[in-house]
């Protein structure tokens, strides 16, 4: 079991706010998420700016469009130097395969593609409503979409910590899982329905965790980040049962 890589969510309105936050966090914040809010405010230059700081970039745009459009967007993201990019697994196999072809062959060190399964903000009832079914299990939907994503050549998926066991059973050992909805112990869930702590993510085998408000909105963000990393390390140092 390896320690999940922490990614800092730059969910801020402007590049200046992102730069200020990273200055407060220090060198431990070397992998960042640029999502829709910051990307639409600042454009591609914000990705270049983060790369210039020496940060790896998770470009969380959740692409979902016709295959040709998504393929061109993937090509643009790769040219920007993004390390990870999200596409909606529910966009279908043809769209995912087009994204894979645009990104190049898996394992060549280029941009990594992650299929978004079920958003961590959605409850089971909301998933059922969105999918048009009377009864639906978020876990079942995540498993189905993870299988689809792997079959179409995605490098991994985005899912909550709670679905990690079923994803690991359903996919190959090199299939990566990024888990948002991470909260330090005692923090409010906010607008997330399926949350977990860094320690839980580490124990269940997450590859990446996204650290948002528990760190970025803390009175001392650097200390909150140290707590999160310490919890990851503590989880990995626990003796294996049996």
Catalytic residues: 62
Beta bridge partners of 86: 114
Side-chain-side CA neighbours of residue 40 (13 Å) = 6
The token duo for 118 is: 């079920």
Beta bridge partners of 9: 33
Q: How far apart (Å, rounded) are the C-alpha atoms in residues 7 and 57?
A: 9
Q: What is the C-alpha R_g of the chain?
A: 17
Q: What Å distances lie between residue 15 and 84, 197, 223, CA to CA?
A: 19, 28, 22
The token duo for 142 is: 């995540």
The token duo for 103 is: 């990104």
The token duo for 85 is: 């990019």
Q: Which residues touch 211 (CB under 8 Å, ≥6 apart)?
A: 6, 7, 8, 9, 182, 198, 225, 228
Three-class DSSP labels, 81-149? CCCEEEEEHHHCHHHHHHHHHHHCCCCCCCCEEEEECCCCCCCHHHHHHHHCCCCCCHHHHHHHHHHHH
């Amino acid at each position: 079991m390896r320690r999940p890589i922490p990614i800092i969510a730059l969910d801020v309105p402007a590049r200046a706010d992102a730069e200020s936050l990273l200055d407060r966090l220090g060198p431990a914040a070397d992998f960042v998420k640029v999502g829709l809010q910051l990307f639409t405010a600042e454009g591609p230059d914000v990705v270049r700016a983060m790369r210039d700081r020496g940060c790896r970039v998770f470009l969380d745009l959740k692409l979902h469009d016709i295959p040709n459009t998504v393929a061109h967007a993937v090509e643009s993201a790769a040219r920007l130097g993004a390390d990870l990019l999200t596409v909606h697994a529910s966009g279908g196999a043809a769209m995912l395969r087009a994204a894979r072809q645009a990104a190049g062959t898996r394992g060549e060190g280029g941009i990594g593609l992650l299929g978004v399964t079920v958003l961590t903000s959605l409850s089971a009832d909301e998933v059922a409503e969105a999918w048009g079914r009377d009864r639906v299990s978020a876990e079942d939907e995540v498993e189905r979409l993870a299988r689809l994503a792997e079959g179409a050549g995605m490098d991994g998926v985005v899912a909550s910590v709670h679905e990690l066991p079923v994803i690991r059973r359903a996919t190959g050992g090199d299939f990566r899982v990024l888990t948002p909805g991470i909260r330090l112990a005692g923090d409010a869930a906010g607008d997330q329905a399926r949350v977990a702590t860094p320690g839980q993510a580490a124990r269940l085998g997450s590859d990446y965790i996204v650290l948002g408000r528990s760190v970025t909105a803390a009175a001392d963000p650097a200390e909150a980040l140290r707590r999160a990393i310490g919890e990851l390390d503590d989880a990995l140092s626990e003796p294996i049962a049996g």
